[in-house]
Amino acid sequence: MPSRDVLPLPEHKSNPTTAMGIRDQTEEFGRRSPISPPDGAPNIVLVLIDDMGFGASSSFGGPCEMPTAEQLASDGLKYSRFHVTALCSPTRQALLTGRNHHSVGMGVTSEMATSAPGYTGFRPASAATIAQTLGMNGYSTAAFGKWHQTPPREVSASGPFDRWPTGEGFDKFYGFMGAEMNHWYPQLYDGTTPVEPTRTPDDGYHLSEDLTDNAIDWIRTQTTLTPDKPFFTYLAYGATHAPFHVAPEWREKYRGRFDAGWDAQRERTLARQKELGVVPESAELAPWPGDVPHWDELDDQERGVAGAFMETYAGFAEHVDSQVGRVVDELDKLGQLDNTLIVYILGDNGASGEGGIEGTTREHLVGHGHADDTATMAGEMDTFGDASGYGIYPVGWALAMNTPYQWTKQVASHYGGTRDGMIMRWGAHMKRPGEVRHQWHHVIDVVPTLLEAAGLPHPTTVNGTAQQPIEGVSMLYSMNEPDAAERHRTQYFEMCGNRGIYHEGWTAVTRHGIPWQMVPDGLPAFEDDQWELYDTTRDWTQAHDIAEQYPDKLAELQRLFLIEAAKYQVFPLDDRVTERENPAEAGRLDLHGDRRSITYRAGMGRFSEESTLNVKNRTHTVTARVSAPGDGVLIAQGGRFGGWSLYLSDGKPTYAYNCYGRDLYKIQAPDAVPSGDVEIACRFDYDGGGLGKGATISLAVDGREVASGRAERTTAYYFSFDETLNIGVDTGTPVSDDYGPRGNAFTGAIESVRIDLDGEPEPETPADTARRLLAHQ
């Protein structure tokens, strides 16, 4: 048997050639056999749900019916003390490498990378992914859905592609690269090739279903072509992250179920959690943040809107669970279910409070520090979940979805931000199905668990690079031993200055910021943060701070945090934002450097905001050289929930500026452009005086001004997390209501479209900095 410590495995060496002609060859060369994993290595299906708190799923006592999770738990095991990091990219990098997120350069989301070792956003070659290890040991590997681990400047046609899924060990990738995606009009990649669905919502399209279709097709192909070869499928859905997009029949099922509100729901959930045994009888509800209103403090209209948001979320959650069910059913049909280790993680962080106190139908509006209008949302409730909105529920529901714990996503200090439900199923290997395991574990424990199940060692060298140690521990010891002593005894947490330490049942934590305060007055100095202490062997939910009673224990754990943080590249702590979002100030490479002009050609597109010039908060000009007549889009950036577009409508030059999906400004020339070659220019004169201010916009044809107008408010920080800049077409959702999401391509010919920048972008104030921190998480 070959040693599997050094990957890739050495190639088979043939016997030497002994003759000129094949008929005189005396030694057989031997057939080249494919690399195979150890006998009995299972298929692996790793499912990750986005932004789902511990108390959301019915399998962990929550109100969202998730029958697939319940069935997998009945056939397998629930883990009640499973932890993640408090944000998307860090959890995913830790999940796929088995190392702490700072150890592999992902201390925050990929969009906030800096030059500090723990925050670069670049996975080091010394931390091979589980896909690389399994693939080099004979597995087929595929990833479907959300990635969110590639540096944003590399998400373009120029690459490089070694930090894309197909460069990190996956044979197949179908999904999206960023933080979130429109589930009705997604912009996807097949491998590294940009693709868009051929169907629309009117045809019954939904992203979760599309991802599932592709995963099932791939699994079928593997079992048909190589039935003896195990496969690894990583299925990371965009649900239940904002935007909450789901067909009305899923939402309607929950009509009226949440009318009693989030306080009552917390009580119901905790009672059910005790019945299920996922928390002890002694568990109490953790404290409620003082600045979040209780349900009885809302008026009727506010309660109606909030209830409708939660109905939409619950339908969204049940819908994605049904897609997981389709994968499980397919494995059963193929005779592969009991030979498949399924790991179902119900959240990459706690539930998200980023919808603010009121909730919003326009996530980017709240992300920029502006509260949505409840009265307006009340008139839109019938459309919740459809393509006209980009919604997320109020923070009160996020807190309820994290029952019985406190705080939310982003807060790495408390279990509301880091504890999620996890389920494992592995056929006859599990001798005590249907039970709950209470051993304390962390997302870095998944890789060693999968390696042990496959009978594979952690490699010491991969592609010639010595590997840093796996920092997690396998969970398989607990599979058939419910009372086994837990092996993950110490774990630090940190995210944007929120930090904590777990050690043998004790937790010491400090919260540095509040996620839903988009424009805080200012963050405290790290040394002024207030630490809390909890004995979770007696206080399961971190409900009673005992720091004053046990100052020596608190000091001991604070020292341990410093040791662990130094070991895993957490320092220097960083709650800056302006520098993190600006590549030059952050110390990371800017794709365009000092360029002030860029010329695009027809057919170019899918440029993310970090792979094109930044036109926000600055004067600039867009110049298109085209051949008329024609109608359609010349250039567009963003979409229905933020962006801008230059296009011809009935031959008339038109510019639309969409601010946060709420304010749409249009300037249109009175006459159509002449036939033949023509130059159409748009001048955007920014008012200055801060971020998100107004602008005067003028249109010119062949150097002659033909129209002008105003945008009284402009986008301060980002147009869109999911949509891109494109030439000759507006992909995804449309910026303007003058054209639809399909059939808006320019019907004439485009020679070029050039963007020229004037001056420097507006500097940020401290309040701007704080707002930006939360807007991109």
| Orientation angle between helical segments 88-97 and 446-454, nearest 10 degrees | 30
Do 599 and 738 lie in a common domain?
Answer: yes
Residues 536, 680 share a domain: no
Cβ-based burial of 672 (10 A; exposed 0-12, middle 13-18, buried ≥19): middle
And the tokens for 544? 């009673």
93 inside domain: yes
Q: What are phi and psi of 386, to 5 degrees?
A: -90, -175
User: Is the pLDDT confidence value at 699 over 70?
Assistant: yes
Task: Specify if 658 maps to a domain.
Answer: yes
Inter-CA distances, 704 with 652, 667, 672, 683, Å: 14, 15, 13, 12
* Same structural domain, 276 and 371: yes
User: Concatenated DSSP letters for 216-253?
Assistant: HHHHHHHHHH-TTS-EEEEEE--TTSSS----HHHHHT
Among residues 431, 447, 481, the one where a domain terminates is: 481
| Domain assignment of residue 20, yes or no | no
Percentage of residues in the chain having pLDDT higher than 90: 88
- CB distance 105 to 122 below 8 Å: yes
Residue 745 sits at the vertex; the CA angle it makes with 740 and 746, to the nearest 5 degrees, is 125
What does the alpha-carbon distance between residue 30 and residue 13 come to, in Å, rounded to a whole number? 9
N- to C-terminal Cα separation, the chain: 47
pLDDT (average), residues 242-271: 98
Q: Which residues of 583-610 are buried (b: 16+ CB within 10 A; e: fewer)?
A: beebebeebbeeeeeeebebebbbbbbb
Q: Which amino acid is at 330?
A: E
- Residue range 644-695, pLDDT digits in tens: 999 999 999 999 999 999 999 999 999 999 999 999 999 999 999 999 999 9
> CATH number, domain at 540?
3.30.1120.10
pTM of the predicted protein model:
0.96
Determine contact, residues 605/731, Cβ cutoff 8 Å: yes
Q: What is the pLDDT of residues 168-186, one digit of tens each?
A: 999 999 999 999 999 999 9
Note whether 314 and 444 are same-domain residues. yes
Is the residue at 5 inside a domain? Answer: no
Residue at 488 is within a domain: no
Give me the pLDDT at residue 325, please: 98
pLDDT of residue 767: 52
Instruction: Classify residue 491: in a domain, yes or no.
Output: no
User: Among 428, 456, 481, which residue terminates a domain?
Assistant: 481
Q: Which residue, 656, 634, 667, is CA-closest to 751?
A: 634
Q: Domain containing 601 — which CATH number?
A: 2.60.120.200
Number of folded domains that form the chain: 3
Q: Using one digit for the tens of pLDDT, what is the confidence trace for 446-473?
A: 999 999 999 999 999 999 999 999 999 9
Residue 293 in any domain: the answer is no
List, for residues 54-112, the tens digit of each pLDDT value.
999 999 999 999 999 999 999 999 999 999 999 999 999 999 999 999 999 999 999 88
Q: Are residues 712 and 574 in the same domain?
A: no
Same domain, 247 and 339: yes
Domain boundary among 581, 605, 636: 581
398 and 266 fall within a common domain: yes
**pLDDT value of position 770:** 47
Q: What is the pLDDT of residue 585?
A: 64
CA dist., res. 317 & res. 325, Å (int): 13
Residues 439 and 504 in one domain: no
Measure the CA–CA gap between 571 and 577, rounded to whole angstroms: 16
Co-location of 343 and 392 in the same domain: yes
Q: Are residues 351 and 413 in the same domain?
A: yes
Average pLDDT of the residues of the chain: 94
Q: Supply the CATH number for residue 409's domain.
A: 3.40.720.10
Give the pLDDT confidence score for residue 24 in this predicted structure: 87
Going by DSSP bridges, is the β-strand pair 695-701/663-668 parallel, antiparallel, or unpaired? unpaired
Statement: residue 518 has pLDDT above 80: no
Reduced to 3 states (helix: H, G, I; strand: E, B; else coil), residue 665 is strand
pLDDT given for residue 520 in this prediction: 57
pLDDT of residue 521: 64
Domain annotation covers residue 102? yes
**Predicted local distance difference test score (pLDDT) of residue 367:** 87
Mean pLDDT in residue range 596-621: 95
Segments forming the whole domain that contains residue 715: 592-775
d(CA 492, CA 176) in angstroms, rounded, equals 30
Q: Are 533 and 403 contained in the same domain?
A: no
Q: Is 254 left (phi over 0), alpha (psi -120 to 50) or beta?
A: alpha
Same domain for 141 and 181, yes or no, is yes
Q: How confident is the model at residue 233 (pLDDT cuts 50, 70, 90)?
A: very high
